[in-house]
Structure 1
Amino acid sequence: MQNAQTIIKNYRRKRVIVSVTVALLTLILTLGIRFISQRNLNREQIRDFTSHTVNSMDKVILSLEKRRGVLQSLVGQPCSQAHLVLRKQAAILQTVRSIALVKDGVLYCSSIFGTRDVLVREIQPTLPTNAPRLILSTDQWLLKGSPILIQWYPVSQSGEDGVMEIVNIDLITRMMLEPQPPLITDVVLTVGDNFLRYGQQVTDTLTFDDGDSLLHKASSNYPFSITVSSPGPGKLALKNLPTQLPLALMLSLLLGYVAWLATARRMSFTWEINMGLAAREFELFCQPLVNARTQKCVGVEILLRWNNPRQGWISPEVFIPLAEEHNLIVPLTRYVISETVRQIGFFPATSGFQIGINVAASHFRRATLLQDLNRSWFNVHPVQQLVIELTERDALMDVDYRIVRELHKKGVKLAIDDFGTGNSSLSWLEKLHPDVLKIDQSFTTAIGTDAVNSTVTDIIIALGQRLKIELVAEGVETGEQAQYLRRHGVDILQGFLYARPMPLREFPKWLAGSSPPPARHNGHIVPLMPLR
């Protein structure tokens, strides 16, 4: 069996484990949620940036397309007539560096240079063409070497005539393709087979650092795409996670403390006893009382045992004091009374047969004991003699003596258990008018071995005889003790010499003459203690 320190230590350890687990889970969940939230936010911001860049480029090209009709009507007109219009259109289209008119494959008019005579193929080998084209290239006219975006609109089926708009893409990239570290480390515009990074020249190759996370989004309106490079939403969220640690720690400590408070009752011995009562884990045992002279069984003392499926067998020396400390001794006694009545058929149905039940002095308050007996015992009308055993270890001053008188009127005997070991005075014998004095086993054990305690035993026996109180000796284990007590006039004996405590169902077999097996728990003989 486990002792009280072990039981309490186990419960405290469980509470600590639960509280620490709650705190750790809270910490992990908080950091996990913050990580997922930040990762999703990073991913969303990258997507928004990419979509915004694509939309911005769409708007630039769309503005060119809206002026296409006006510009295409100028193709074929002399440059002297068209030049002013070209300059006005270039001013309106603020993103355009220049506008050129092409006739028969020859660039003959420019918004910047006026009249020209240059083959378009010398400037851009892929032009002219009979289909609209968007070309990312390098400026060969004005700002040589700078990146430009060329929009070609043909006006003839042969494609030799058309309008060529040169967009100042270098200026646009500084507004639209600027990275936003640490979230976005690189932005690339792709048109055909050419690529343009922020602040760099047009290239026909594209590489990224190993481990970069790439998001590619193509325009649904025009032939270009935007590629965004970042360390990765998850990597950035993980890097940012330490900043969330203080809040997560505070929350985990708070919930861990709440768990400690919340488990104070549920993971306590009080909760365990309540659960044991509800699940009927307690079992009634009994130990016979034998007439010292006739050697016949004249009654039993009801004992309580607890086979806790979560903790194993728990000694009454553990759960009884803790039940008293947490005001659960009354529910335990109430359980014993009701179970005794339920199993009353195991005992002889004679008025001379005594059934002793241990009752705490606190059970006498506000007539609680009388109410419980009226409900469970007197209501059934058992023929056996009920003996209420009141231990001296209780504060006998708590006993309501009016309840004692009422119990006597109902034929209930009152016994003082473990007499001589408690804190009572002899004056209480007069107040309580007990019918039985039970000599504690420590005095019985001292017979023949301890002169002082043997003398106290003799005094208790003489006191009982003088007051005409029935005497019961507990803890009789040897024939010498039984002979001594019988010779000195002790009426009833109780102890291992006659029988060990046994389950109630074993009592009829013992009473019929068979010896009950010793009480074993998990294969080990254990000392069986009374309810007290």
Structure 2
Amino acid sequence: MHTAQNLIKGYRRKRVIVCLLVAVVTLLLTFGLRFISQRDLNQHQIDAYARHTVESLDKILLPLAGKQHELTRLVGQPCERVHLPIRKQAAALQTLRSIALVKSGILYCSSVFGERDVVLRQRQPSLPDPQPQLLLSTDQSLIKGSPILIQWYPASQDGEDGVMLTINIHLLSSLLLEPQKPQIERVIVSVGNRFYSESQGISDTLQLTGDEDVETRRSMLFPFSISVTTPGAAMLALEELPAQAPLAVILALLLSAVAWIATAGRMSFTREIALGIERREFELYCQPQLDTRTGQCCGVEILLRWNNPRLGRISPDVFIPVAERENFIAPLTRYVLSETVRQIGYFPPNPQFHISINVASSHFLHGVLLRDVSQYWFAARPQQQLVLEITERDDLQGVDYPLVRELHRKGVRLAIDDFGTGNSALSWLEQLHPDILKIDKSFTNAIGTDAVNSTVTDIIIALGQRLNIELIAEGVETPQQAHYLRRHGVPVLQGYLYAKPMPLAEFPRWLAGGSLPPKEHNGRVVPVIL
């Protein structure tokens, strides 16, 4: 009784630790995910604001650029003839403050003042210029000292003739440059080496405080950029994080309760598995695989069954997931390897005959699988080809890729089981470099019935053939399915059409053409993923 009580206390202590870990991890994940989500949302809003501002200013400047040729044709004509047309143009382009015509460096006609005689370089030292220019400057004639945006278009090769468009930057500020707090604190227009913001006006340096982040986006159409200053997407997300505390606490309590309930019947199940291995309660079955080109059996897949004398027959769908969750899948795989080698005499001693054993991705960690294969398989020097199947539904992060390369070097073939049913098929192909793809029975069953899955089946077949990877179709149950797969070039088939899973001792009789083994006592046989 004392020992039993200690075991119960031990399991309870483990469950409490698990529940506390679940609560802590839930809190950390909730805060972490909410922080990342809010940070990304803030960054998206900042980027969207900067992009929208650039696009809006582009839309203001594009109509002015479109009038370039029409206005430059007016340069040199008498002001009394062109004054009215340029006034109409200035009125139509509402963001303009004025249009000025320049001849030989002299501003001789203005849409606001009419006829003038002003040396342009005295007002704007960088003009005239033989190249089109976009400038930030200050007004020297209408509202002196006010910030303006100048667009200059030359009308002669030497640049002494041209059109100067003055844009009302105060109007732009009210339309485009309003900050949107808390994400956007200031909006700065940069043209050349000059900067304008509503709070600081025009300056030759970008003036920043120490706690401001700057996001800049350049126009692809005109020589300007928009910079926005922010407290930072991460800082804004941190400020909003305390509001997520109630949700995080509720999730932590809920998942801790779920963990407490879920661990009630599983904390001791690994003991049953260990006892079953020790007493050899697990029995090996095999399912033949047929080569469609020769019609001969070219290999088998090893499956595992458990008739527990204490609990009765236990489905692989029950003990395999529990073993995986409780990190007990590696001992089961060692058992399968050792039992397969012990009963290797039931299979043809032919290097062309392969024996497939399912493994979990977690078994690849730290070279454990390589040591086990070397100890249980290579040490026995079997003549048959070893194939290790890893299901695509497993976690790819558990795979030790140097170990994969070493297995390939030793002649072990790798197969991806249930291909196409997981979330990362292409990633598996890229990182595992498998020798075999096993088409899942769900796709095989869909042949002739389900248009979507049939299309996926064709894609998997084409992918395997394109990459020169051998294909095996599981779950073949009808001649129509077999015919379809053979016609599409799948070389190896496996399923009830040819044979149900059978004890290893029954395989030689099946191979010799004898009667098929009897059905299992509990009905339908369910394939096992080890």
Q: Which residue number corresponds to residue 145 of structure 2?
A: 145
- Tell me the CA shift for residue 252 of structure 1: 1.8
- Tell me the CA shift for residue 206 of structure 1: 1.2
CA RMSD of aligned residues (A): 2.3
5+ unaligned residues in a row in structure 1: which ranges? 283-329, 333-532
- Tell me the CA shift for residue 174 of structure 1: 2.3
Q: Which residue number corresponds to residue 175 of structure 2?
A: 175
In 2, Cα distance between the equivalents of 1:272 and 1:77?
A: 98
Aligned pairs for 1:245-260 within 5 A: 245-260=245-260
Contact 1:90/1:99, CA 8 A, preserved across alignment: yes
In 2, Cα distance between the equivalents of 1:104 and 1:277?
A: 102
Aligned partner letter, 1:224: F
In 1, Cα distance between the equivalents of 2:271 and 2:5?
A: 16
Output one character per residue of 1:389-424: Cα deviation in whole Å (capped at 9) or x when no partner.
Answer: xxxxxxxxxxxxxxxxxxxxxxxxxxxxxxxxxxxx
Q: Which residue number corresponds to residue 204 of structure 1?
A: 204
The structure-2 alpha-carbon separation of the partners of 1:276 and 1:157, relative to structure 1 and needing over 3 Å to count, comes to closer
Q: Which residue number corresponds to residue 19 of structure 2?
A: 19
Q: Which residue number corresponds to residue 225 of structure 2?
A: 225
Aligned pairs for 1:305-320 within 5 A: none
Aligned partner letter, 1:278: G
Contact 1:131/1:153, CA 8 A, preserved across alignment: yes
Aligned partner letter, 1:150: I
Q: Which residue number corresponds to residue 6 of structure 2?
A: 6
Residue in structure 2 matching 1:278, options 276, 279, 284: 276
In 1, Cα distance between the equivalents of 2:97 and 2:203?
A: 21
In 1, Cα distance between the equivalents of 2:114 and 2:247?
A: 67
Q: Which residue number corresponds to residue 164 of structure 1?
A: 164
**SS of residue matched to 2:265:** helix
Aligned partner letter, 1:220: M
**SS of residue matched to 1:243:** helix
Aligned pairs for 1:45-124 within 5 A: 45-124=45-124
- Tell me the CA shift for residue 207 of structure 1: 1.9
- Tell me the CA shift for residue 173 of structure 1: 1.9
Output one character per residue of 1:430-462: Cα deviation in whole Å (capped at 9) or x when no partner.
Answer: xxxxxxxxxxxxxxxxxxxxxxxxxxxxxxxxx
Output one character per residue of 1:105-129: Cα deviation in whole Å (capped at 9) or x when no partner.
Answer: 1111111111111110111011111
**SS of residue matched to 1:24:** helix
Output one character per residue of 1:3-27: Cα deviation in whole Å (capped at 9) or x when no partner.
Answer: 3433222211111111111122122
Aligned partner letter, 1:242: P
In 1, Cα distance between the equivalents of 2:180 and 2:190?
A: 19
Aligned pairs for 1:323-362 within 5 A: 331=310
- Between structure 1 and structure 2, the one with the greater Rg is 1
Q: How many residues of Structure 1 are paired with residues of Structure 2 in the alignment?
A: 285
Aligned partner letter, 2:131: A
In 1, Cα distance between the equivalents of 2:47 and 2:100?
A: 36
Aligned partner letter, 1:32: G
- Tell me the CA shift for residue 331 of structure 1: 3.4
**SS of residue matched to 1:167:** strand
**SS of residue matched to 2:310:** helix
Output one character per residue of 1:326-366: Cα deviation in whole Å (capped at 9) or x when no partner.
Answer: xxxx939xxxxxxxxxxxxxxxxxxxxxxxxxxxxxxxxxx
Which stretch shows the higher mean deviation, 90-99 or 198-207? 198-207
In 2, Cα distance between the equivalents of 1:177 and 1:115?
A: 34
**SS of residue matched to 1:266:** coil
- Tell me the CA shift for residue 198 of structure 1: 2.3
In 2, Cα distance between the equivalents of 1:117 and 1:249?
A: 76
Aligned partner letter, 2:163: V
Aligned pairs for 1:394-405 within 5 A: none
- Tell me the CA shift for residue 275 of structure 1: 4.3
Aligned partner letter, 1:59: K
Aligned partner letter, 1:208: L
In 1, Cα distance between the equivalents of 2:214 and 2:70?
A: 40
**SS of residue matched to 2:209:** coil
**SS of residue matched to 1:107:** strand
- Tell me the CA shift for residue 200 of structure 1: 3.2
**SS of residue matched to 2:264:** helix
Q: Which residue number corresponds to residue 523 of structure 1?
A: none
Aligned partner letter, 1:331: R
Q: Which residue number corresponds to residue 41 of structure 2?
A: 41
Q: Which residue number corresponds to residue 213 of structure 1?
A: 213
In 1, Cα distance between the equivalents of 2:6 and 2:180?
A: 61
**SS of residue matched to 2:77:** coil
- Tell me the CA shift for residue 211 of structure 1: 3.3
Aligned partner letter, 2:310: P
In 2, Cα distance between the equivalents of 1:109 and 1:7?
A: 100
Percent of aligned positions that are identical:
54
Aligned partner letter, 2:109: C
- Tell me the CA shift for residue 2 of structure 1: 5.5
The structure-2 alpha-carbon separation of the partners of 1:107 and 1:133, relative to structure 1 and needing over 3 Å to count, comes to same
The structure-2 alpha-carbon separation of the partners of 1:4 and 1:102, relative to structure 1 and needing over 3 Å to count, comes to same
Aligned partner letter, 2:153: Y
Q: Which residue number corresponds to residue 131 of structure 1?
A: 131
In 2, Cα distance between the equivalents of 1:273 and 1:64?
A: 81
Aligned partner letter, 1:78: P
Contact 1:64/1:93, CA 8 A, preserved across alignment: yes
Output one character per residue of 1:8-57: Cα deviation in whole Å (capped at 9) or x when no partner.
Answer: 22211111111111122122112211111111111111111111111111
Aligned pairs for 1:473-492 within 5 A: none
In 1, Cα distance between the equivalents of 2:276 and 2:166?
A: 88
Output one character per residue of 1:103-160: Cα deviation in whole Å (capped at 9) or x when no partner.
Answer: 1111111111111111101110111111111110011111122110011111011211
Matched, 1:186 2:186: yes
In 2, Cα distance between the equivalents of 1:75 and 1:26?
A: 72
In 2, Cα distance between the equivalents of 1:191 and 1:211?
A: 24
- Tell me the CA shift for residue 272 of structure 1: 6.4
**SS of residue matched to 2:263:** helix
Contact 1:136/1:149, CA 8 A, preserved across alignment: yes
In 2, Cα distance between the equivalents of 1:273 and 1:47?
A: 56
Contact 1:174/1:198, CA 8 A, preserved across alignment: no
In 1, Cα distance between the equivalents of 2:171 and 2:229?
A: 21
Aligned pairs for 1:505-516 within 5 A: none
In 1, Cα distance between the equivalents of 2:25 and 2:83?
A: 74
In 2, Cα distance between the equivalents of 1:80 and 1:331?
A: 111
Aligned partner letter, 1:35: F
In 2, Cα distance between the equivalents of 1:272 and 1:65?
A: 77
Aligned pairs for 1:421-460 within 5 A: none
